[in-house]
Chain A
Amino acid sequence: MTDTRGGLPDRPLSPHLQVWRWHITMACSILHRATVFALYVGVLLLAGWAVALASGPDAYACYTGLLGSFLGKLVLFGLTVALLYNVAYTVRQSFWDMGKGFTPKTADMTGVGAIAFAVVGAIVVWVIAAQTGAL
């Protein structure tokens, strides 16, 4: 190590994706950032939906036609997973803010829980959608 006596202390190095072994809490953190970008697009899609509704029946039919296409449904399903994951992640993070849930075992468990909640929750929402004729 560089001799730092009398100067600045050794700084911690940033972890990089290439040199780190993948583990659950890391995957959760990266997934969280990825879903944030997905939801960014999702909220803009929601704003676009409102604009289409305000623009009249033709624009609305065109917009909902796009959302209702196979690709549109795929995007909407992904957004459902992303939204539920972020809801669970916010709860997880609120516990961290209270100083709870930092032991590796608990952090792994809540991470897996958040992903499971998102995937299972999204499937449940889409099953409900299919049964209520929303699809």
Chain B
Amino acid sequence: MAGPSSSARFRTPMSRARGLGASHHGVGHFVTERVSGIALIPLALWGLFAGLRLASLGFDGAAEWVAIAHNTVLLSLLIVVALIHLKGAVQVVIEDYVPDFTTKTVLVLANLFVCVLGGALGVVAILKVAFTGAL
């Protein structure tokens, strides 16, 4: 952690006045990662518990379990919040290590699309099982 005096040396007076950081949206990213991270503490621990339950249930048992309202909601939330959190985390790694603009842009977009597609598939599948039951 750099103290205010050392970080101030590397910033122009204009950037200090604007107070938005280097990329103008770092604060939003930081808050998203922190809030989703905190939300994931109970969600992920519940996910472990859910995994233990589901592992001993067969297809019919799992479908019934998913159809219980609070399980439907928590499972969907776990997938969505985890993907929001991981999308941001992986994007930072890409931005840190890939200097080439085109490669970086392709990877950042691919990351976004994979997360949105994975989330949509997962949530729709859970809702389908919850609303229509086991086939």
Q: Do the beta carbons of A57 and B90 come within 8 Å of each other?
A: no
Contacts of B129 in A (CB 8 A): 50, 53-54
Interface size bucket, B side? 35 or more
Which B residues, 93 to 135, have Cβ-Cβ distances below 8 Å to chain A?
93, 114, 118-119, 121-126, 128-129, 134-135
Q: How far is A101 from B114 in the complex, measured between Cα atoms in Å? A: 35
Contacts of B66 in A (CB 8 A): 50, 53
A-B pair count, CB < 8 Å, reads: 104
Interface string of B51-68 (1 = CB under 8 A from A): 111011001001100100
Q: How far is A121 from B113 in the complex, measured between Cα atoms in Å? A: 33
Contacts of A104 in B (CB 8 A): none
Q: Is the interface of A mostly helix, strand, loop or mixed?
A: helix
A87 lies within 8 A of chain B by Cβ: yes
- Chain A: minimal CB distance from B9 (Å): 5
Q: How far is A111 from B14 in the complex, measured between Cα atoms in Å? A: 38
Q: Do the beta carbons of B82 and A132 come within 8 Å of each other?
A: no
- With an 8 Å Cβ cutoff, the count of chain A residues facing the other chain is 40
Residue in A54, A83, A134 whose beta carbon sits within 8 Å of that of B125 in the complex: A54
Contacts of A9 in B (CB 8 A): 9-10
B73 lies within 8 A of chain A by Cβ: no
Residue in A11, A76, A90 whose beta carbon sits within 8 Å of that of B40 in the complex: A90
- Chain B residues close to A by CB (< 8 Å): 1, 9-10, 34, 37-38, 40-41, 44-45, 47-48, 51-53, 55-56, 59, 62-63, 66, 75, 78-79, 82-83, 86, 89-90, 93, 114, 118-119, 121-126, 128-129, 134-135
Given A36-B86, A93-B34, output 20 extra A-B contacts at Cβ < 8 Å: A9-B9, A39-B82, A39-B86, A43-B79, A43-B122, A44-B114, A47-B121, A47-B125, A50-B121, A50-B122, A51-B125, A53-B59, A53-B62, A54-B124, A55-B135, A57-B59, A61-B59, A76-B51, A86-B40, A134-B53
- Chain A residues close to B by CB (< 8 Å): 9, 11, 33, 36-37, 39-40, 43-44, 46-48, 50-51, 53-57, 60-61, 76, 80, 83-84, 86-87, 90-91, 93-94, 97, 102, 125, 128-129, 132-135
